[in-house]
Every structure is written in structure tokens, then in C-alpha cells.
A and B are shown apart, each in its own frame.
Chain A
Amino acid sequence: MTPSPRTPRRRGQRRRGSSLLLVLIMTTAMAALVLSAIYLQSLGSIVSSLRERERDFRYAAEAALALGKSRVNRDTLLAIPADSFATLFRDSVLVDATGTTIPRARVTMHYAFTGDTTGRFGEFVTLLARASDDVGTRHLRRLDLTAESFSRFAMFTNTWQSGLAYGTGEFIRGRSHSNGNWRSSGTPGPTYFDTVSAVGTITGTATYSGLPTLAGAATIPYPSVAKLAALPGYATTGNLNFAPVSGTAAMATTNGTNVSGRAAGNAVRGTWLEFVALDVNADAQIAEDEGAIRIFDLAAGIDTSRIRADLEGSPVAFSHPILQNQCGAFFTIGGRQEFFPVAVFRQAWVKNRIVTSTFPTVTNAQANTYSGNTQADVLRILRLPTARCFPVGSPFLLLTERIVDAVNCGQASPNPANGNPYSWAAGPTCAADVYYGGQDTTFTPDPRTCVIIQTAATGRCTGLAVALGSWRQAPGAIQFAAVDASVRQETERTYLWSIAKPHNLESKGVIHASAGPLWVSGTLRGTVTLYVLGSVVMIDDLRYDVDPTAPNALCRNFLGIIARDNIMVADNAMNRPKVIATPATTAGNTLFLGPDRDFFLDAVTMSLTGTVGVEDFAGSTRTNPASMCPKTSTNSTSGGCINQTGGVIQEAISATFAGSGTGLRENRTVDPCQLTNRKPPFFPTTQRYLENKYFEIDPKTLGTDAAVRTWFARLRG
């Protein structure tokens, strides 16, 4: 048997085996396990890093917004487009606080004016920041800025005259700033409820709200007259640009008696602007479009003291034409208030009517003691709790300013051929249906005056009627198409200048008087800027139709009054106490004859070159009992209070009182609307920008400049 030959293993040939393979597999498997463990362990840090990356982009976008805001605020040469958009920087890197570049993130910042770019409602700048990288990550953020308005300030003065200081008993309840110094005096001194800042120093004792004062603040540039050059044009667009009357003329007389309202010299003509809020459609609501103004021009020969209701003299003569014809008392008759001027109390129908009053109640005996014939009789009328005076032309002065014909009671203009006319309802042909006192509905387009006989009860004039002036008819385009008959007579409708759309569609909310002084008062409904190229004199309260601090009244109304010159509170019968009888210090001899015992103003007032102050602030006409300011005070006597809800912005601060019993103390409250930075139309801005709204934007949008352009266009009016 031959053994089978075996194939010999060649030298070097290794045996087949699996040990190495097995070890390799094992090692690989273990390595994979270790790696996967490491990977899994690192998942958390990957998520964390992704999150940090997202945070980086978010912060990058917000940092870009902050950079944009800073540039808009500080770079006065930065051109902000109003019809396109500009790019402040594109795909720029950002560095963190340590100076290290934030990895990957690139930021782009676009900006433009948005909203209504005319500036009527404010100036709005929108910043659009995009943070992105090369792989498609994108974060978009939008920040709207709004220019700070001067109307935001409760008190702003461009200069602070030496010797002036706020004192004890004065309250400034809003943001205050001086481009000069700021001084307080007395102990405990004035009370401030918000930040006080001054470019110079802040000195004196005062009570602060807890907010820090800021001395050495940056100057806020004060606007010039030239800056507001566009306002008259805006007023013209809305048919609300007018020229007040002016000039002088010899004092008007009737039957030899001076009825001009002035004691000597020539009578000075002037114009009174009255704000009127009325429920045009009688729906028990006064809507935003139901605000109006009326404009009354004095006739030649009638002095502005008639508009102002100035009661000169101490005491004022009881036969003073203003006292007789423009002052009197309200009586509530049949649920309505009717006004009876002093000059008509002697008439029998008047006595019969006022004894039916529910407030104040009047007996027959008392009614017999009311007349314009003696100082004592006049004083009794004016001591009634409802006594007051009105400016000439007021509808409440029906009885003394709608003079009726001796033959035809209904004749609009008394015929001189029929002899001396009569006061309203006193004519021999007047029937009982016209026996009522003055109301807000008893409007007379062309009021007249005369001297009503006081020695008899006839109500007849001693001479012919004299024109006091006339109300201006509104341009047809801005008259109310209809006014409910229960609200106003049709006669009055055409004299109401509507100030808001849709009745005045093109109104831009600006009323302009091309000269001053302009006398102003009334009740505002709407959002309006009154711009006067001259001075403004507040002859009576000027208030909103609803208290601006009331719930749900936020920004319901907003009035800005801008005067080139001063804005003054008139020293007249309606704002300040007047001596009706002597001795003046005896109780009831010195009286307030306005709608209340103080001056009330709802508005932001701005004087471009002068001050917002008080006429004859040092004059002492102390009442007895003393008037406190505010009413709750027990030691702050004055001539009364300036109760202003709004702000004062002025070139130079001025005094409003000079010690106890004088002038008017300041009791100013900020209108909550001011805190929102809303502003009266086109009211000047400080050129500082405040944050308005913040938005995030869907990152899939706005990928191209074209899309950005379209987006900005959509944000504009």
C-alpha cells in the first residue's frame, strides 16, 4: 500500500485560524460600543451647542436692532428713507463683550420710516434685523421706534430764569426737563411725581417720587418757528386756517353810553375761538367726529375786554356793561339750565321764571331783590352759587345779546325805524313761548348789545342796538351736513367748523391762526393742534368732553396749543376772583365768576419763543374764605389754581403767583395719554426715539431685498 502522498505545506505558508480575526472582531465591536457611548454622551452637548447657536443668532439679531436704534438716535445725519429702505450694514460680523467675533453669525440691518410718514401721528422708524449664516439659518426681528414728542413732558423749559423756583404746594405730576437749571425752594418744597432732569444743576428742597433726578442731562434741542412752517399748509388743507381780526376803532356807544367794554382809548378788535363738543346725531354719544370750533370776531368799536369778560375796577361798577350783560346766574328750570344776565332780572317774566327754579331755589321775595339797578341787588345775584360771566357772543347771553325789534319780536335785526329795541322776550309783541333764559342752543349769529333800562321793568334799551361782532360761517366743505334739531338749531349748524373726518375729510387735525392774540376756551372733542402765530390767551376753562384721567378715556381727546409767543391765563372774571363790592376782604365781596373756582385746562401748551404764564400773577385778589390750591390743601392759599391736565413746554419758565392770595398756583397733572407718547397732530418731536413695538417675523420670509422693499412699503400709509 502506498501511502497517499500528502501535499507538503510550503514553507512560509501559515495555518488557517480565527483567533486573530476573532480578536479583531471583538476589538472592533468594543471600539464601536465605546464610540457609540461617547457619541451618545456627546449628544447632550451637541443639543446644547445647537441651542447656544440658536441663542447666538437670536442675540445677534437683537444686537443688530440695538445698533440700529443707537444710530437712529445719535446720528443726526443719518438719512432715513420714507419711500424705500436703507441698509445700515449687511452681512457684518458681531463681536461679543470680550471683543471675540461671534462665530458664523452675519447680521444685516435695514431701516426706513414707516406708518404715516407725514408726521401727523408721530414719526415711526422700523428696524429690520436679519441674523443668518451660510447654511440657511435665519432669524428676523423687527423693532418699531417712535420719535419722542415734546407733548410727553409735563413741564419743559428751554431756559430757567434766575430768581424763579417751584415752591411748597406746587405739584408737577409728570416728566420734567430744563435745558438750563432746575430750582425748588421752601420746605418741604414742591412735589414731583416723575423724573426731573436738567442740563445744568438741580437744586433746592423738594419731594420726589423716588425716581432719580438727572442733572447734567443732554440738551434737547428746542424747536424753532421755522421748524413748524408746514403747519399753516396742513390747516389750509382742512379749511381750518384763518386770520383773526385786529385793529383799533373808537369805542362803540349807544345813546351816549360806552358799550365797548373799555373805559378809555380806542377799542381793540380781536377773535375768540371756542371749541365745541356736540352730539351731532343725538345718539347720546359724542363721537370723535363730533368735535367742532366756532370763531367769533368782534365788531369795530368793541374791545377785547368784552371777549375776555374783564371786570375792571375795585370794586367793579355795578353798571359796568360787562357785569350787566355778560354776568348773571344759571337757574335750573324744567330740568334745563337757563342763564339770566344781571340786566334782565328786573323784568317780570324773568322773576316769574326763576321762582320755578329747582336750583338755586328762589322765593318771590328773593326774586324781587334781584336787579341790575343797585350794587346790593347785583351782589345778591352774583353771590348765587351758579353765578358766572360769559365771553361776548356766547349762546348763553341770549337775553342781552339777541336784541328784539320793538314792533316785531321775531325780527332778526331790530329796525331802527321802530324805535329803541328790547332785550330778548321783553318786546311788546313777544309771546310767552319765548320766555326762557340762555342755553347752549340759543345761538345768535350776530349778537348785539344795548343799555337795558334798569330803573323800570320794561327791558327796553335806552338807545339803538350796537353790533358786538359776529360768528364766522364755516366753509361749506366742512359744515356738518345735518345736526339733530334736539341738539342745535339749524341756524347754528353752518357756524360750526367740523375738525375731523368724515365731516372734514381733509382735516389734518391742525387749526392755524395767522396772528395773535387769539382768545381761546371751550370743550374739545378730538385730537387737534392749534397753532397761533402770535400769543394765545385762555379766557375761560378749556377742557376735554371727558376727563382725560377717567377710565376708558385714554387718548379720547388730545389738544396741543402751540403759540409763537406767550400763552397766558387771562386775569379776567372767569379765571380770577374779582372785587364786586368793598371791603374786598369781606366774605362774598370778592368773587370767582367762572364755571368753577379755579382755572381748568386740558391741553399740552407750547410757547416757541415765550412762556406759558398767568397775567398779573402778582395781583392780589384774595377771596374770603380763602381759596386753597389744591382744594384739599389747608395752607396753600392763592388766587386759585391752574388745574392743568397736560403739559407745559416753553422757551422760558415764568412765575404764576407771587405769594399767598396772588396769581394762580400750579396743580398740574399729566394726561395719561402723554405717557403713551401719543401726540397732537404734527406736534414737534425731540429727535429722540423710543421703543414702540417688537415683533418676530417668520424666518422663511424676507429673503431678498425685493421682498424687504415690498414689506416696508406695506408698513407705510
Chain B
Amino acid sequence: MRPTIRTRRPAGRPGFTLLELMLSMTLSLMVFAIALPFFRVQSKAVEANVGRSEASQNARFVQNAIDRELRLAGGEVGQPIIVQATPFALTFNVDLVSRTPGDANAVYINTDADSLAVTGWDDGDAMALPGTTRTYPDRDYFDAAGNLSGAETISYFVSPDLASGRPDLYQLWRRVNDRDSTLVARDIHIPADTGWFFRYWRTTGTGALVQVPANALPILWDDTTALADSIRIVDLRVSALYRDDRAQEEVTRTTYASTRLLNAGLLRQRTCGTSPLPARNVAAAIQLDAGGAPASVRIAWDPSLEEGGGERDVTTYVVQRRLASETEWTTLGNVPANGDASYAYEDFDLAGGDRIYGVFAQDCSPANSPVVATGTVSIP
């Protein structure tokens, strides 16, 4: 009997047959042929979406930035709420930031903020309002307590984006007091036939709300018509642009928003009455260290008569400093009124030249007393 030789089937080869390869390549090419245009379409769509999204974001950012500050315009500012209202520029006063801890009128406290951008604008530094030759402030503005207004003057304005080479593209700028303008956004699209970025609504004598006609603009704070005081709502039209260079198309996203000036027309009474009487016997003296070198300046004072008498509403003493050659005070800090017989504050910053210190009392409005200044302190 012959042994049966079973022939094994040959094992699979480690590779592709030409047919397989050809088939898979053909299939791949077919898939890619189908997918690529889809990818291209998707890619363009994604790109366009991102562009639209960016444009929307840009528009909303602009809107939010302006709304956040504009809606709080007014309050205890001592200045006109609206300084300038034009189709392309808006200037208003708002106490947004304060360097004074506990300042109840400011929204944010930032002790490191630029001291010239957190308080009233000194008329000595007056400059032209955006887009006009009119300068502001025309005088120093004081709050109800007779102190320089604590509100900063903020301008938002658009100007043609010259780098774009197009007349309908603008940049949005923000300016605080006389500080440098900062760029808020680019690619703001304002078609020639639109003609406005800001639009205004005011109340009439009968309480009705009416749109301020374009021919009534610009409105300035010192107009005899007092229209600035009657503005209640600011409309914002932000059209942000995205240019798809490959597709040779532009995407614009336009948002309309209205900001109500929450403090316009409100009573804005001071809640703690008249300004307190000032601190008394304010004096400053250099303190020496063990080696006899100047270590600090000690400012000492006796309490306001209204801490224990009168209206009895002094809550704080605010200590300030200025160079003897200047008029601008810098706030150093505050000391709570605790009913003490006397108060003191140490200034360890001895840089600079001759300086003068000042102290004022503050009540719960908060309203400030006049500043009582020391004599000149010369740091050796």
C-alpha cells in the first residue's frame, strides 16, 4: 500500500499579489478621488466657519467691551455722563476703576492701575476729543463733595484702517482721559451707505424715547440744548469682516446691540449727606532708622470733628502725596476711622524730591472733606 502523501497547501506569502496591490491602490485612488473634493469642501467650509466665528467673536468682543463700560456711565461722577456723541465716536464718564481700596463708587479696585487713568481728567491735560477740535475737560470737574471727580473719561472711536487700503474698513480705539489710545479691534466694516457705528436715543420733555436724528449729531456735553443729558440708550452696529482670500470672498458678521445707560436719569443723591469736616493738625515728619538715616515719613493727624460729633459718619482717612513742584496727588492708602484720638501713616517710599502729604476724611457716601496738606518734606 502506498503511503498517502498529503500535499499541503502552500502557506500564504508574506506580501501582496500584484492584483491585490493594484486593487487596493485602485480602491484607494477611488476613495481619495471621492474624498478629496469633500475634504476640500469641508476644509473651505471649516475655514469659512472659523472666519465667521472669528468675525462674530470680534463683533461681540467689541460690543461687550463697550457695553460693559458704557452701561455704568454716570453714578457719582461729578461730570457729564455723555461728553461727546457722534456717529463714529462716543465719550462718556464712568468710575470704572479706582486705586483706593474700599471705593464704593468704582466697579473695580486696582491699586496698581495707571493713576492718570482711574480718576477725573485734569483740565491742565485737556486735549481734543476724537474726531473734533473741541477739547475736554473745559474745566476741572468736581464731585458732590467738591473733590476732583473720581470718574475717568473714556472714548471709543473708529478710524479708517489705512493699512487695509479700503475705505470701508475701520479700527476701533479706546482712550482713557489723555492717555494713549489703544486698539480694541480691527476689520470693523462700515459700508459707506451705513454711516454710523453709534446711534442714540433720548428722552423728550414728555418722557418719550426718540431716536436722535443724524443731523442733530454731534452732541457735546456743553451744548445749550442739553441733549447730552437726555441720552438714555446707545445703539451699536458692529459689522466685523473676515476675508477669505482663497475663496475670494468676504464674510461679514453684523450685530446690533443697545446699551441702556443705567444711571442716566437716576437721582444720584449722596446717601450720607454733606461732606465731612477735614482731618486736623495734619503733619509729616521724617523717621530715622537706628543708624540715623531716613527710614520713612510719618504722617500724623487728629480726627475730623465729625468722627465723634456732627454727622458722625467719617469712615476713612485717605492719605495722599505729591511732589512739591506738582499739583497732582497720588493716593498712598487709607486708614479706617476707628474713633482713635490720633492717626498715623508711614510712607516708606523715600524716592523723589521734596514732597507734600495730604489727608482727607471720607464719609459713607463716600464724600470727601477738603484735603489738608502738610508742609514740604525734604528727603535728604
Q: Is A412 an interface residue (CB 8 A)?
A: no
Q: Is B262 an interface residue (CB 8 A)?
A: yes
Most buried by A among B50, B53, B76: B53
Q: Is A348 an interface residue (CB 8 A)?
A: no
Q: Which residues of chain A have C-beta atoms less than 8 A from B53's C-beta?
A: 40, 43-44, 47
Q: Which residues of chain A have C-beta atoms less than 8 A from B273's C-beta?
A: 115-116, 120-121, 717
**In the complex, how many angstroms separate the beta carbon of B47 from the nearest chain A beta carbon?**
9
**In the complex, how many angstroms separate the beta carbon of A259 from the nearest chain B beta carbon?**
45
A121 touches B272 (CB 8 A): yes
Render A164-185 as a binary contact track against B, CB cut-off 8 A, 1 for contact: 0000000000000000000000
Partner of B266, one of A30, A693, A696: A693
Q: Which residues of chain B have C-beta atoms less than 8 A from A114's C-beta?
A: 271, 364
Q: Is A678 an interface residue (CB 8 A)?
A: yes
B364 touches A715 (CB 8 A): yes
Q: Is B52 an interface residue (CB 8 A)?
A: yes
B102 touches A506 (CB 8 A): no
Complex formed: what's the CA distance from A46 to B248 in Å?
28
- Say which one of A12-20, A223-231, A301-309, A606-614 lies at the interface with B: A12-20
Q: Which residues of chain A have C-beta atoms less than 8 A from B16's C-beta?
A: 17
Q: Is B75 an interface residue (CB 8 A)?
A: yes
Known: A115-B365, A717-B364. A40 touches B57 (CB 8 A): no
Q: Is A53 an interface residue (CB 8 A)?
A: no
Partner of B75, one of A8, A30, A690, A694: A694
Render A664-699 as a binary contact track against B, CB cut-off 8 A, 1 for contact: 000000000000111000000000001111111110
A505 touches B364 (CB 8 A): no
Q: Is B268 an interface residue (CB 8 A)?
A: yes
Residues of B28-78 contacting chain A, CB below 8 A: 28, 31, 35, 38-39, 42, 45-46, 49-50, 52-53, 56-57, 60, 71-72, 75-76
Partner of A22, one of B24, B42, B75, B277: B24
Q: Is B315 an interface residue (CB 8 A)?
A: yes
Q: Is A313 an interface residue (CB 8 A)?
A: no
Q: Is A353 an interface residue (CB 8 A)?
A: no
Known: A47-B60, A691-B267. A116 touches B12 (CB 8 A): no
B272 touches A34 (CB 8 A): no
Known: A676-B269, A715-B104. A506 touches B52 (CB 8 A): no
Q: Which residues of chain B have C-beta atoms less than 8 A from A714's C-beta?
A: 102, 104, 315, 364
Render A8-43 as a binary contact track against B, CB cut-off 8 A, 1 for contact: 110001011111001100100010011011001101
A697 touches B14 (CB 8 A): no
**In the complex, how many angstroms separate the beta carbon of A39 from the nearest chain B beta carbon?**
9
Complex formed: what's the CA distance from A697 to B45 in Å?
42
Partner of B205, one of A115, A210, A505, A717: A210
A9 touches B108 (CB 8 A): no
A209 touches B205 (CB 8 A): yes
A26 touches B35 (CB 8 A): yes
A43 touches B49 (CB 8 A): yes
Q: Which residues of chain B have C-beta atoms less than 8 A from A693's C-beta?
A: 75-76, 263, 266-269
Q: Which residues of chain B have C-beta atoms less than 8 A from A690's C-beta?
A: 267
Q: Which residue of B lies closest to A504 (CB)?
A: B310
A19 touches B60 (CB 8 A): no
Known: A43-B53, A115-B364, A502-B305. A7 touches B8 (CB 8 A): yes
Known: A44-B53, A211-B207. A9 touches B313 (CB 8 A): no
Q: Which residue of B lies closest to A7 (CB)?
A: B11
A692 touches B206 (CB 8 A): no
**In the complex, how many angstroms separate the beta carbon of B190 from the nearest chain A beta carbon?**
23
Q: Which residues of chain B have C-beta atoms less than 8 A from A19's C-beta?
A: 20, 23-24, 27
**In the complex, how many angstroms separate the beta carbon of B153 from the nearest chain A beta carbon?**
19
Q: Is the interface of A mostly helix, strand, loop or mixed?
A: mixed
Q: Is B235 an interface residue (CB 8 A)?
A: no
Complex formed: what's the CA distance from A695 to B104 in Å?
9
Partner of A37, one of B8, B42, B313: B42
A122 touches B9 (CB 8 A): no
**In the complex, how many angstroms separate the beta carbon of A10 from the nearest chain B beta carbon?**
9
Q: Which residues of chain B have C-beta atoms less than 8 A from A210's C-beta?
A: 205-206
Q: Is A401 an interface residue (CB 8 A)?
A: no
Q: Which residues of chain B have C-beta atoms less than 8 A from A623's C-beta?
A: none
Q: Is B363 an interface residue (CB 8 A)?
A: yes
Q: Which residues of chain B have C-beta atoms less than 8 A from A18's C-beta?
A: 24
Render B263-291 as a binary contact track against A, CB cut-off 8 A, 1 for contact: 10011111111100100000000000000
B57 touches A6 (CB 8 A): no
Q: Is A297 an interface residue (CB 8 A)?
A: no
**In the complex, how many angstroms separate the beta carbon of A583 from the nearest chain B beta carbon?**
48
Q: Is A716 an interface residue (CB 8 A)?
A: yes
Q: Is B213 an interface residue (CB 8 A)?
A: no
Complex formed: what's the CA distance from A16 to B14 in Å?
8
Q: Is A288 an interface residue (CB 8 A)?
A: yes
Q: Is A320 an interface residue (CB 8 A)?
A: no
Q: Is B380 an interface residue (CB 8 A)?
A: no
Residues of B189-235 contacting chain A, CB below 8 A: 205-207
**In the complex, how many angstroms separate the beta carbon of A599 from the nearest chain B beta carbon?**
29
Render B353-371 as a binary contact track against A, CB cut-off 8 A, 1 for contact: 0000000000111000000
Q: Which residue of B lies closest to A152 (CB)?
A: B267
Complex formed: what's the CA distance from A126 to B246 in Å?
57
Known: A44-B52, A506-B310, A716-B364. A692 touches B46 (CB 8 A): no
Residues of A286-312 contacting chain B, CB below 8 A: 288
Q: Is A124 an interface residue (CB 8 A)?
A: yes
Q: Which residues of chain A have C-beta atoms less than 8 A from B364's C-beta?
A: 114-116, 714-717
Q: Which residues of chain A have C-beta atoms less than 8 A from B134's C-beta?
A: none
Q: Which residues of chain A have C-beta atoms less than 8 A from B324's C-beta?
A: none
Render B284-319 as a binary contact track against A, CB cut-off 8 A, 1 for contact: 000000000000000000000110011111010000
Partner of B9, one of A8, A692, A695: A8
Q: Is A541 an interface residue (CB 8 A)?
A: no
Q: Which residue of A lies closest to B68 (CB)?
A: A696
Q: Which residue of B lies closest to A148 (CB)?
A: B267
A692 touches B315 (CB 8 A): no
Q: Is A501 an interface residue (CB 8 A)?
A: yes
Q: Which residues of chain A have C-beta atoms less than 8 A from B76's C-beta?
A: 693
A15 touches B271 (CB 8 A): no
B277 touches A502 (CB 8 A): yes
Residues of B127-161 contacting chain A, CB below 8 A: none
Complex formed: what's the CA distance from A6 to B6 in Å?
12
Q: Is B162 an interface residue (CB 8 A)?
A: no
Q: Is A146 an interface residue (CB 8 A)?
A: yes
Partner of A116, one of B38, B109, B271: B271
Q: Is A51 an interface residue (CB 8 A)?
A: yes
Q: Which residue of B lies closest to A123 (CB)?
A: B271
A9 touches B310 (CB 8 A): no
B269 touches A146 (CB 8 A): yes
Q: Which residues of chain B have C-beta atoms less than 8 A from A40's C-beta?
A: 46, 49-50, 53
Residues of A461-515 contacting chain B, CB below 8 A: 501-502, 505-506
B269 touches A678 (CB 8 A): yes
**In the complex, how many angstroms separate the beta carbon of A62 from the nearest chain B beta carbon?**
9
The 9 closest A-B pairs by CB, nearest first: A115-B271, A8-B8, A717-B313, A210-B206, A121-B273, A694-B262, A15-B12, A124-B271, A717-B272
Offer 12 A-B interface pairs, CB within 8 angstroms, sorted by A. A6-B11, A7-B11, A8-B8, A19-B20, A41-B46, A44-B49, A47-B60, A209-B205, A678-B269, A695-B104, A717-B272, A717-B273
Besides A116-B364, A501-B311, A714-B315, 12 more A-B contacts (Cβ < 8 Å) are A9-B9, A17-B16, A116-B273, A122-B271, A146-B269, A501-B277, A505-B305, A505-B306, A692-B271, A694-B262, A715-B271, A715-B364
B residues in contact (CB < 8 Å) with A: 8-12, 14, 16, 20, 23-24, 27-28, 31, 35, 38-39, 42, 45-46, 49-50, 52-53, 56-57, 60, 71-72, 75-76, 102, 104-105, 107-109, 205-207, 262-263, 266-274, 277, 305-306, 309-313, 315, 363-365
A residues in contact (CB < 8 Å) with B: 5-9, 13, 15-19, 22-23, 26, 30, 33-34, 36-37, 40-41, 43-44, 47, 51, 114-116, 120-122, 124, 144, 146, 209-211, 288, 501-502, 505-506, 527, 676-678, 690-698, 714-717
